Each structure stands twice: as C-alpha cells, then as structure tokens.
Amino acid sequence: MSLPLVLLLMWAVTYPLRLLGLSLGRLQLPPFWLNFLKFVPVSVFAALVVPDVLGSSEWARRLVGALSGGLLMWRTRHLALGILGGFAAYWLARLAGL
Amino acid sequence: MTSAFFPPFWRGYRLMFPLWLGMVPFAVAYALTARSAGLSLWETQFMSLTTFAGASQFAAAGMLGAGASALGIVFTTFLLNARHLLYGLSLARQLPLSRRQRPVAAQFLTDEAYGMVIVNGPKDPAGLSFPFLLGAELSLYSIWNAATLLGSVAGAALPNPQALGVGVIFPLAFLGLLVPLLVDRISLLVALVSGLGAWGLSRVLPGGLVILLAGVGGALLGAAFLTRSQQEDAPSEGRPMKEMP
C-alpha cells in the first residue's frame, strides 16, 4: 500500500467518529445517559492525567509536579498558575535528582 | 459570518495559548520521528493537516519507521482516535451545532480543545458557542501545523524537546481542568476509578483505547450512582441536578 493512501486512510478512520459524536447532540436520551455524559469530562481528564504521570519513565518527578500543581489549582482555581507551579516543582524535583 | 463571530472566536483562540508551550515541542518531536522514518516533508505535513491527532501521528510515524503493515497502522489510528466520538457526544449535548458547522468543528476536534472548551466555554460572555469552539480548535491546528513544519525543516538544528521536560505540561493542563470538577464524592470516585483504571489498562493496551475504555467505564459508574440518588430523591422532586461548572 502506498504511503499517501495510508495517510488518507488514517484520516478516513479519524474524521467520521469526530463528526458522528458532534452530530448526535439532538438525540433524546434517558436520564441515565444524560448523567453518563455529565461524567465524561471527569472520567476522561482523569484517564488522560494518571497514566501520563504514573506510567511515565520519570514518574517520580512528574508526581511531584502533578501534586504541587493540583494543590495550587485547588487552592487558587487558577489554571496558568497551577501549570507554571507544577512545572517549577517538576524541575525542582529533577534538579534535586529525583 | 457576522461581526459577532470574531470576539468569541479570538477568546477561544487565546484560551489555548498556555497549551502551545506543550504543543510546539510535541509537534516538533512528531516531525522528527516522521522524517527519520522516511516520510517526506509534504507527507509529514499532510498527516498534521488531515488526521491532526498527536498521539496517533506519533504512533504512525514510529510504526512506519519500524516497517509495520499499512493496515496495522490504520487500525492503530482508529483505536487511538475512537475516543473522539465521546468528545463529540459530550460537546454536542451542550452545544447544538448546525448542519454546516458540524463538519467544520469535527475536523479540528482534539483532547485539548474538548477539555478547555467544555470547561471554559460556558464562562465565556457569549456562552458555549461555535465561534468559541472553532477558535480554540484552530488555535491548536495552527500551532500544531506550524510546529510540524518547523520540525521538518529545522529538525536537526533544534534542541531535543523531550530534554526540556515539557512532557509534564499536558497532564498538568488536564489536571487543571479536572480539579474544579471534583465537587462531590461521586465525581471524586469517578476520577479515582477512571484514573487508576486507565493506568492499569495502559500497561496492556494502546493509549487512545485506554482513554476511551476508562472514560466510558468511569462515566458509567458515575451515572449509576447519580441516577440512583436522583431516583431516591424523585418523590419530593429532590435537590437540583448537579450541573458541570
């Protein structure tokens, strides 16, 4: 199979799912599934964060960064401050040889 | 387009600036991987312009370099990106899009745009709107493609992006979106189960599939608890349902 064809097929398996989800907004759903969709951000964000921290080869430093950043964001509700603080803590842990 | 389009569009566009910091090295690293796998500059760029999904582009570039089969690469891409269905479903609940808006919004949908828009969109003066979503989406699309080009052209002359430790930016950004959503015991439980479940699954399955499975599993658990407590409250009309902040 030629490379341009592979690239086109990659697009062809990605785009329709994005479109399908966005097209189902007017679907009438029972309460259970409405609740399901309410929890999607919580479950997806957690699933994006934890493996990226604990599953990393530098997990100890990242854990320090994530705990510091998370604590900052919890106390201040400020996204940029949390990211910068977490990144600083990550670097401190890294410089400390963790 | 009306003149009311651009103010929310630019607010959406600017919303993503903090994430550019993590995006640029990621795209540069993708371009380096793709070029070293033998993709031409145009092919490397074409993948960023069409598929536009970081993790699967990385995986595909790596697999091409390792001589994997074409069908294997396409199937991996499908598995990694199936989670986007969930983002579309969740977004469309809160933001009904017109027949013309949907195909446009779909092309540029990513983890980051979904996360930032679903949380910050309702706080925008214009509310969660199509221009705001498109602004956030195109913010990432423009920087992702610019950084892909940069990596393709200047790759060898750039410092190794991984060495800067910017890999920690993405989990931090999503953590920042997650923390304000942890408002009660059910959401805390959902986050714990999904997060730890994803960590366990990630040892045996590809990343995108892990997020889809853990995302669906966690949300099912939350829905089961919340629906039950709503039914218990139902006779007296109960307390108001918890809305996403």
Q: pLDDT digits over B76-85, tens only?
A: 899 889 899 9
Average pLDDT of span B90-96: 92
Distance of alpha carbon B8 from alpha carbon B170, whole angstroms: 24
Per-residue model confidence as pLDDT tens digits over A28-45: 889 999 999 999 999 999
Which of A1, A9, A10, A76 would you mutate first to test chain B, the one with the most B CBs within 10 A? A10
pLDDT at B3: 59
Q: Is the pLDDT of residue B244 over 80?
A: no
Burial bucket for residue B2 (CB in 10 Å: 0-12, 13-18, 19+): exposed
What is the arithmetic mean of pLDDT over B58-64?
88
- C-alpha dist (Å) from residue B11 to A36, B7, B120, B128, B172: 29, 6, 10, 11, 22
In chain A (98 residues long), the average pLDDT of successive 10-residue segments reads: 94 96 88 92 93 93 97 90 93 94
Contact A46 B93 (CB under 8 A): no
**Nearest-angstrom CA–CA distance, B61 and B52:** 13
Contact by Cβ (8 Å): B134, B12: yes
Pairwise CB contact (< 8 Å): A7 & B43: yes
Burial of residue B245 (number of CB atoms within 10 Å: 0-12, 13-18, 19+)? exposed
How high is the pLDDT of residue B107?
Answer: 98
Q: What is the pTM of this model?
A: 0.84
Query: A56 to each of A52, B161, B167, B168, B193, how far by Cα in Å?
Result: 6, 16, 9, 10, 19
Q: Which residue of B has its CA nearest to A74?
A: B179
**What does the mean pLDDT of chain A come to?**
93
pLDDT band at B155 (very low <50, low <70, confident <90, very high): confident
The token duo for B235 is 């006779």
- Unique residue bearing structure tokens 């990659």: A10
* Helix axis angle, B54-65 to B17-36, nearest 10°: 10
d(CA B216, CA B195): 12
pLDDT at B236: 52
Among A8, A6, A47, residue whose Cα is nearest residue B86 = A47
**What pLDDT shows up at residue B95?**
93
ipTM of the complex: 0.90
DSSP code, position B49: H
Q: Averaged over B184-188, what is the pLDDT?
A: 96
Q: What is the pLDDT of residues B42-58, one digit of tens each?
A: 999 999 999 999 889 98
**Mean of all residue pLDDT scores within chain B:** 89
Of residues B50, B109, B195, nearest to A47 (C-beta): B195
Q: Do A18 and B87 touch (CB under 8 A)?
A: yes
Taking the C-alpha atoms of residue B211 and residue B203, their distance in angstroms, rounded to an integer, is 13
> What residues of B are in contact with residue A58 (Cβ under 8 Å)?
165, 167
**CA torsion sign, A49 to A54 to A57 to A59?**
positive
pLDDT at res. B2? 54
**Which residues in chain A have their CB less than 8 angstroms from residue B202's CB?**
51, 55
Q: pLDDT-based confidence at B65, cuts 50/70/90?
A: confident
